[in-house]
Structure 1
Amino acid sequence: MVAATDRPVRKKTEVAVATRRRSERWQGPVTLVVLRLAVVAVALLLWQVLSGPVLPEYAVSKPTEVAQALVKLLGSAAGWIDIRATVIEVAAGFSIGVVLGAVIGLLLGSFPVAGRVLEPLVAAFNGIPKIALAPLFLLFFGIGIWSKITIAVIGPAFVMFYNIYLGLRLRERELMEIVQVMGGRKHHLLTYVTIPTLAAPFFAALKTGGPLAILGVIGAEFIASTEGLGHGLFTAAMNLDAATEFAGLIVLVIMTLTLNGFLSWLDKLALRRLGLLTRRRPAEERP
């Protein structure tokens, strides 16, 4: 009787295990890459077929023409000058913004009175559309590189400030008191409480601030510049050159993916060194 009762249960378990294995096989990294490439290929094919008969070719061009424009862009000295200018502006603005936001967040988070006084002012300044500040920075710094860098600083700085500021406020007070009762000093609080608490918000701010820096630079280059990818996109739009426009957008996408990939690698490296990667993994592996 027991064996007969266990037989259906065992069969259901085997079916469930087989179903889970098939699901995991479809969710493997190689399969996901193949599926993503298939989606891109289908989208490009539809774009090629619909451009002209359905969509206006002057507005969307064709993938073949975009590929030719991309080769021309990457094969010209002017194209690489624009790419280099944008990369320098994004890298400088992003780095300065991260440091500035982290320092202000640490200061206001460490001194509660200063935080309560200045945080509303920071929030008010953050409410101003960043692109609206571009003409003001152009008046101060001209159309050169520093006006673009200044715009690129704002986005990452605010994101980093709020993540660090709120992270400090959310530190577990009970854990801090336990460390202090056990004889821990300030450097022990920093090592065992503050850094583990701020690690995740810090790298989340990095990943969020990168695209904001790129957005700020491109917007500023649209308004007034003599070089940069934004300048090239604006020129292509004025000339109704959709192929060159899409080629510039592809370069921007590659730049964004490269920056995000580097920050993800840096995130995992730092968390592994801090011993926090194993804590995060179960949450990331949830379906």
Structure 2
Amino acid sequence: MSAVTATDSPSTVVITERKTDWRQSQVVLVLLRVVVIAVALGLWQVLSGPVLPEYAVSKPSEVAGALGDMLGSASGWNDIRATVIEVAAGFGLGVLLGAVVGLVLGSFPLLGRVLEPLIAAFNGIPKIALAPLFLLFFGIGAWSKITIAMIGPAFVMFYNVYLGLRLRERELVEIVQVMGGRRHHLLVYVTIPTLAAPFFAALKTGGPLAILGVIGAEFIASTEGIGHGLFTSAMNLDAATEFAGLMVLITMTLILNGTLTWLDKLALRRLGLTPRRRPTTDGA
């Protein structure tokens, strides 16, 4: 911990100590996670063969070799690039579609009451069951995967935005209107702060759904992509390559979730919606 000078106020000392404790707790948390992963990999390596069938679970050393082969080949990077493009396009279009529909139906209550049950009924259809239909419309190219990837994020974003608008505090809206506020004032001071948290919650929920949609569609019919590689590895009983592809998917999910979490914190901080810590003094 940094040295405390005589000119430091009690509140400064407390804040410094809290920052130091927080950093130490974060380091300990990361170390514990590393230990858990190391133990799991060690058990996997030891138990594969004597206890677990090696043809089904392979070994971490073999998975590492398969992952190196995948990342060292042009075909492996082509599969990764195809899946990343499909996930990014499907996720972005799904978020845009869900947000627009949610804003429109939330702004017009009668239209929302008419269409919301129909949207709920369509949402009840398993998304993967729609894959063959989209394949008939768009073929086995990228657009069929992008369309399937759109569905999950679109529904999640729609419900978060739609319900967020419905749950706006009516009293706050009336206060802004009484004070002479126009539509853009309601948007800036009421709607955006109200929808910020549900919007970013929908983003973090919809990201994995977009990945799931793309991988499922690549399983059904595709000529490239990580899902295509996983399906081929499963058919060839190549467990090492199968787990290598799963490692790539996990990495993609972590990167996407980390990026969305960072954007969430940045946006909420810019909007002034993050809780502020009040400095405490000794004897307070």
Q: Same fold (TM over 0.5)?
A: yes
Structure-1 residue corresponding to 2:86: 89
- 1:101 is displaced (CA, Å) by 0.2
Structure-2 residue corresponding to 1:285: none
Same amino acid, percent of matched pairs: 83
Structure-1 residue corresponding to 2:29: 32
- 1:157 is displaced (CA, Å) by 0.2
Corresponding position: 1:54 with 2:51: yes
- AA of the residue aligned to 1:217: V
1:198-277 → structure 2 map (5 Å cutoff): 198-277=195-274
- 1:25 is displaced (CA, Å) by 7.7
- Cα distance in structure 1, aligned partners of 2:220 and 2:272: 45
Identify the match of residue 192 of structure 1 among 182, 189, 192. 189
The number of equivalent residue pairs is: 259
Larger RCO (CA within 8 A; separation ≥ 6): 2
Q: Structure 1 residues 25, 113: CA separation in 2 closer, same or farther (over 3 Å shift)? A: closer
Q: Structure 1 residues 71, 115: CA separation in 2 closer, same or farther (over 3 Å shift)? A: same
- 1:180 is displaced (CA, Å) by 1.1
- AA of the residue aligned to 2:119: V
TM-score, normalised on structure 1?
Answer: 0.88
> Are the equivalent residues in 2 in contact too, given 1:211–1:256 (CA < 8 A)?
yes
- Cα distance in structure 1, aligned partners of 2:102 and 2:24: 40
- 1:273 is displaced (CA, Å) by 1.3
TM-score, normalised on structure 2?
Answer: 0.89
- Cα distance in structure 2, aligned partners of 1:118 and 1:220: 28
- Cα distance in structure 1, aligned partners of 2:187 and 2:275: 20
Q: Deviations over 1:57-88 (max 9, x none)?
A: 00000000000000000000000000000000
5+ residue gaps in structure 2? 1-17, 279-284
Identify the match of residue 114 of structure 1 among 111, 116, 130. 111
5+ residue gaps in structure 1? 1-20, 283-287
> Are the equivalent residues in 2 in contact too, given 1:101–1:158 (CA < 8 A)?
yes
- AA of the residue aligned to 2:135: L
> Are the equivalent residues in 2 in contact too, given 1:26–1:32 (CA < 8 A)?
no
- 1:132 is displaced (CA, Å) by 0.1
- AA of the residue aligned to 2:115: L
> Are the equivalent residues in 2 in contact too, given 1:81–1:227 (CA < 8 A)?
yes
- AA of the residue aligned to 1:82: D
- Cα distance in structure 1, aligned partners of 2:146 and 2:95: 13
Identify the match of residue 74 of structure 1 among 71, 78, 84. 71
Secondary structure, in 3 states, of the residue corresponding to 2:264? helix
- 1:226 is displaced (CA, Å) by 0.1
Q: Deviations over 1:142-180 (max 9, x none)?
A: 000000000000000000000000000000001111111
Bigger share in helix: 1
- AA of the residue aligned to 1:140: F
- Cα distance in structure 2, aligned partners of 1:150 and 1:179: 40
Structure-2 residue corresponding to 1:180: 177
- 1:90 is displaced (CA, Å) by 0.2
- AA of the residue aligned to 1:93: G
Identify the match of residue 141 of structure 2 among 132, 141, 144. 144
Structure-1 residue corresponding to 2:12: none
- Cα distance in structure 2, aligned partners of 1:178 and 1:151: 43
- 1:27 is displaced (CA, Å) by 7.2
